[in-house]
Structure 1
Amino acid sequence: MLRPLLIISSLAFAAAAHAAEAGKVIFAAGQAQVADKAGAEGTSVQEGELLMTGKDGFLYVKTVDNGLFILRPNTKARIVAYHIDQKNAANNRIKLELISGVARSKSGDAVKQARQNFRFNTPVAAIGVRGTDFTVYTDQETSRVTVLTGGVVVSGFAGGCNPDGVGPCEGAASRELFAGQRGQLLQVKRGDTAPQLLQSSSTGPDQVSPPRADEPVAKSGSTGGSSASGPVLDARKSNDFDKLVKGPSQPTQPPPSKDPVITPPLDPVVVGPEPDPIKPPPVVVEPPPPPKQLVWGRWQSFAGADITLDLEKQLNSENKMVALRRNYALFQTPGADYVVPERGSVGFNLQASEAYVYTADGALPTEAKISNGKLNVDFGARTFNTGFDLTTASGELFKMNSEGAVGYNGRLTGNELWKAPTNMNVEGQLSNENGGAAAYLFDRRLDDQRIINGATYWGVQK
């Protein structure tokens, strides 16, 4: 028995020796623990260490890349991995695990640089981020996720999605949730193939375990990640509470004068000439606003391929998100709405496109080429059909097709994948810009190991 015990001890020592510091405790209250140590302020948190809070416990961990991981009462979690490559952000690997209870995660700098390599696991679900601040409740059977800023992509453990994976599980069964969807949450139950979008109620994370009054507040109107500054840990106070409740006090009237009031004689009324009639101001007709413009691009960088769209900047602007699929996003600027004609049809020519193939082994994505594109819209039937040839870097040819519906505001929504001839997911928008345009995002699983994701932009046929 001595030799096996020595081997086990050696392996445990080797694993501990390679564990890196993931962060430090910046605040603790009540019963809080980091592995076998009390969770006091300044305590170092290593990769793989179990974090626990009791019925009155709170634990705030600042990660090494200025992120934040908060545990509320009766919670067990761990920072499984927090590997940061200062020379190549594509090698960053961050993985968090919530075993039970309620936890909040604010993305740090390393996560923002390599969102494709971030994973937040619960016993039943995998959560990926879009540059995010989110809160999760879980037990062994059910997980619920709400978003404060940014967005998440959530999937149950089924098919190709398993707890050992790196990065988000994205496919037909995954669902996305963004901060703009106030009052909603995603719920995953054990065995579910896809999360459910529900209205937040008494079962939401903040209702099950409310935050402390001093928990850092998400930026108002922000949809990006966390601030680099530390959390404010003092409860808000006001010395003007009475003024806030009762409003400003009214000025007191001066006491009446004891002296007699002498009224001067009135001046005689002088009747002058009739004034000129008042001319109404000229009517100014405001020109109609320009049509909404389409803004699209890839927000994730790869080796040798810089981003073409700043996602956080767009989310913090007045532009409205139309669609986000994997690494591509589509927005609309403010302007005149697209009004769908009651009849007729129109064809579009492909003007710009981009697509990448992703593999399950985590290798860098490879670019694919799009050609022979077609997009036709039938306004009377409120339908569209589109297709193109997709050629991978190795020369394989895939025929991509989709049919779907046209919404009242020009929104394009593709049919489900199993409804032939559709074989790809499509989300897009029609626009009046440049005399008529359209754009859509798409993705499809090519085989068990590969997924294609991309974007297309179209102009009306002249």
Structure 2
Amino acid sequence: MRNKMNKSIEVCCSWALFSGKSRYSRRSWLVGMVAVLLALTAVPLSAEEQNNPDEVGQVTLVIGQALAHNKKGEQRSLKRGDSVYVDETIETSAGGHVHLRFVDEGTVSLRPNSRLSIELYHYDKQQPKNSAIRFNLEAGVVRSISGKATQAAHDRFRLNTPITAIGVLGTDFVVRAEPEKMWAGVYSGAIAIAPLNTQCTVDGLGACAGATQLSEAMGSVMIEFSGGKEREKIVPLDPAIISKANKSGSDSSKQSEDSASPAPGRINAAEIKAADVASNLDIAPQEQQLPNPFAWARWGDQLPGDAMSQPYVTAQEGRKMTVNNGVFALFRTPSALAEVEPRAGMYDFKLAQGQVHFVDNRDQESSLAKLDAATLQVDFGQRQFNTHLEMSHSLGGSAVLDGAGKIENNGVFNSGNVINGSGVAGAISTDGAYAGMVFQKKVEMGTFVGITDWTNK
């Protein structure tokens, strides 16, 4: 190829320099020379490079069925750990739910019977203000929590629905979309909503001129937007509306007449999340915020650095045991509710406190280890949980433990073998606000044993 290129250059030069009939000036010749060099030295992209879309995030949770479609009509089922790409549409089934974490640490939760297109997701790590994001919620319910791109360039974020354009101000918000109607509520920050028209187009970024603002500071309200004559209105917050995937159904594939009824009373915007969990409980709103009913008990002597457990006789006072692993037991205060009753809502529980010990195989001595990362996700509609734990110790090295499975009606859940092998076991409070979980992970040199407390408040 190099010989062919050199020959082409020689021909070009000879023709330009020695042709007496040349119409080109020396300057024109130089321009032509540069053009030839660029054309000859340009390296074309491979087929793989031309067709490889931009990977912009990962799936962190899937419950039920979730699919990804691209513009070529190709379809794939999503599972945890899968990548997602620009120009893909994510779709959930009637019982499906998917969580996405993007490259800038922004997160999206897509609820059942929903379709969300990732039209644009550009994160400029060096200059975040140059980032740009655009989603299109074709139908269903989505929750969006801003990442670094939107926090740095909120004027370059857009979520479109069939009838509106939504801009944000570093926000955590939820939107439900239908062909001629939409609803939105704000957990934190503020959003700005405007109707799509010739001045506010689907290919734009940021909030449109004249948009209506909805903020957390406005209290217990949400915005309802219609494609009809009565375009928009601020109405009292109704979690039963913005938490549903459609008018007649809930996040659960099992429906009942009473599941369509919202909880009595009104709450403020900061409590949307808790209300979503308990929107179908037949209890007053003030009764939804109960104190943590859990206490950890230890069977034997206190382990080095243990700051969470109590002696067995202390922890059991007024409480009943839920789960144990032979080292620790989780006790829960009895509730007026016999079962954990929320029928809608998917939440990432926050780790309130946690500890982990490493038990050496050689001498069964225990020492304090490090809990490096911990997540717990609960789908109340499908009665499913998903957890991810990372731990480390100077002798045991690093270890990862994942668990997923069913939540029983009494709130108890487990995955794997938490006594003789590797696994997790725990329980959720009957109001859905707290959880406790014990875990165990066997490695070559010993066993990691830990306990955790969680809250979704």
TM superposition score normalised by structure 1 = 0.43
As a proportion of its length, which structure holds more helix? 2
TM superposition score normalised by structure 2 = 0.44
